[in-house]
Structure 1
């Protein structure tokens, strides 16, 4: 059951004084959502890049559910509003910007403490998409984050980024460019967490179960002899990204995540702590 915080507000009621009714103020209990302090995210303000994509929407929603102020980076604010981002509460702010245009990024990061990058090339007909979006666009975000003194950077990448022969690289080298962006983030000096999910699902199919999150070090899943890569809900990836902001064991790690129905349920902090590499 979700936690709640009880606040007290005054409301008008009446009492009898000298035989007549007079208004007085009595406390009335009001229930509201748990604050960001309860999740360790008090003081955070997070820029979400790629906020209108499938994973980006889930990250924005996960942060909003914890009452964390969110600045959603979008190229078209009117389109983003129609897609539901504007309806996530007063703490969600739409800001116009483009990862291709560096000048638009530092102003968008003003007062932000963290960046979660959910961008990814979408058009399979564009041979420059992976280079422009997954590599150059991420580099622009990293440079802007350094310029504005952002504390943390969480990047959604992909299982298979280390494997040059992965079939997904037939899509204009998409994993190759994701890997190059990972390396730039690791060299940046920012505190980072790189999250590599398996196959992304927006929702479950008929008869499917979500399963529990399984987390491993780089190269855990992929082409044999690595373990077979599975899938994971975008909402579960969002939970991993948000947890990475406050879990000490997530700092400066690359983690691969899938979901398995027979896996034990473990706290995300324990999963991060269980990943040891290099």
Structure 2
């Protein structure tokens, strides 16, 4: 079952792409430029051009799973958050419905279900994610919604948890390595969860596979 990685050139997306190649998981990277396309093809992964702000329909053809790990990034303006994190997500969900995609894994954000309890400087982003997540939940798709905490570039611990302090509006202690998120997605591609799961995800004490099994 081939997986389309939307946001393959992002940090989580690249880590996931590397793991797909290593584990012989059929996958396709959706990227925006021909240079990025060449980079992924040199890695040994199929790559196609597609744009969350433009045409991406053809990128879905021949795929049965979607991983959406795209994001506008912390340095971009709020209007980019609307175009990419909100509208891009919704367009991808609706295309997946039209194309008959069997499984959709969305990488969202911790506290997207209650944006006012998140860090003040990213609440506009959490609102965008909340609305996109709601569209996914109301869709006809079999979905898994991942809500990782504040993402770190440090090496993964191999352990996750879903319990955190809601009163910590800075998310100072609600962190997770991008590597651990990518490893969790890799396991989900091999063995999907029952549909309709929403999973909060921070570093913790449970081995990743053990943690995911809590939702089976």
TM bin, normalised by shorter chain, reads: 0.7 to 0.9
Instruction: Tell me the CA shift for residue 169 of structure 1.
Output: 4.7
Residue range with higher mean Cα deviation, 232-241 or 145-154: 232-241
Residue 245 (structure 1) aligns with: 189
Structure 1 residue runs of 5 or longer lacking an equivalent are 1-43, 205-209
Pick from 48, 61, 65 the counterpart of residue 5 of structure 2.
48
Residue 56 (structure 2) aligns with: 105
Larger radius of gyration: 1
Pairing 1:160–2:143 present? no
Alpha-carbon separation, structure 2, partners of 1:120 and 1:187? 21
- For normalisation by structure 1, the TM-score amounts to 0.70
Work out whether residues 149 and 200 of structure 2, in 8 Å CA contact, stay in contact via their aligned partners in 1.
yes
Pick from 208, 224, 236 the counterpart of residue 167 of structure 2.
224
Q: Provide closer, same or farther for how the CA distance between residues 94 and 170 of structure 1 changes in structure 2, counting only shifts above 3 A.
A: same
Alpha-carbon separation, structure 2, partners of 1:119 and 1:178? 11
Work out whether residues 52 and 80 of structure 1, in 8 Å CA contact, stay in contact via their aligned partners in 2.
no
Pick from 15, 24, 27 the counterpart of residue 70 of structure 1.
27
- For normalisation by structure 2, the TM-score amounts to 0.88
Tell me how large the CA RMSD over aligned residues is.
2.4
SS at match of 2:115: coil
- Which deviations, in whole Å up to 9, do the C-alpha atoms of 1:148-207 show, x marking residues without a partner? 111000000111212322454534600111111111011111000011111212234xxx
Work out whether residues 211 and 259 of structure 1, in 8 Å CA contact, stay in contact via their aligned partners in 2.
yes
Pairing 1:271–2:211 present? yes
1:13-92 mapped onto 2 (5 Å cutoff): 44-81=1-38, 84-89=39-44, 92=45
Alpha-carbon separation, structure 2, partners of 1:168 and 1:121? 17
In the alignment of these two chains, the number of paired residues is 215
Work out whether residues 37 and 49 of structure 2, in 8 Å CA contact, stay in contact via their aligned partners in 1.
no
Structure 2 residue runs of 5 or longer lacking an equivalent are none
Instruction: Tell me the CA shift for residue 135 of structure 1.
Output: 0.9
Alpha-carbon separation, structure 1, partners of 2:2 and 2:206? 32
Q: Which structure has greater strand proportion?
A: 1
Residue 16 (structure 1) aligns with: none
Higher relative contact order, structure no. (Cα contacts within 8 Å, ≥ 6 residues apart): 2
Q: Which structure has greater helix proportion?
A: 2
- Which deviations, in whole Å up to 9, do the C-alpha atoms of 1:212-242 show, x marking residues without a partner? 42232xxx43532899743222121112122
Pick from 128, 151, 157 the counterpart of residue 211 of structure 1.
157
Pairing 1:95–2:48 present? yes
